[in-house]
Amino acid sequence: MSGHHISSAKFLWGVAISLFILTFLTVGVAYIHIPEPWNVVVKISIAAVKAVIVAAFFMNLWWDSKFNVMLFIMSILFFVLLVGITLLDTLYRVDPVPSF
């Protein structure tokens, strides 16, 4: 039951069009030159919204078993852990390894 959600063609087109619009938005934002940290934040946020739309409505997580949703969220948490712990080292080095 949980695995057999059938989306209407109209709905799938709507999802794709919203993704197209967000792509236009990211490219547009790149040309406005938002000051330093915020340009990255805006672009990553738009990408994250697009990723959530794909995961929820194309990969059907919206209607899927909560266990699969948990797996997806856990992978992101572990990625954040990987980056976080790595940055705790690399950001506070006196100088980066010369040959790197």
Q: Is 9 in the site for another protein (CB under 8 A)?
A: yes
Q: Is 38 in the site for another protein (CB under 8 A)?
A: no
- Residue 13: CB minimum distance to another protein, A: 7
- Helices 36-53 and 9-32 sit at what angle, rounded to 10 degrees? 170
Q: Is 62 in the site for another protein (CB under 8 A)?
A: no
Which positions lie near another protein, rule CB under 8 A? Answer: 1-4, 6-7, 9, 12-13, 15-16, 19-20, 23, 26-27, 29-31, 33, 39, 43-44, 46-47, 50-51, 54-55, 58-59, 64-65, 67-68, 71-72, 74-76, 78-79, 82-83, 86-87, 90-91, 96, 100
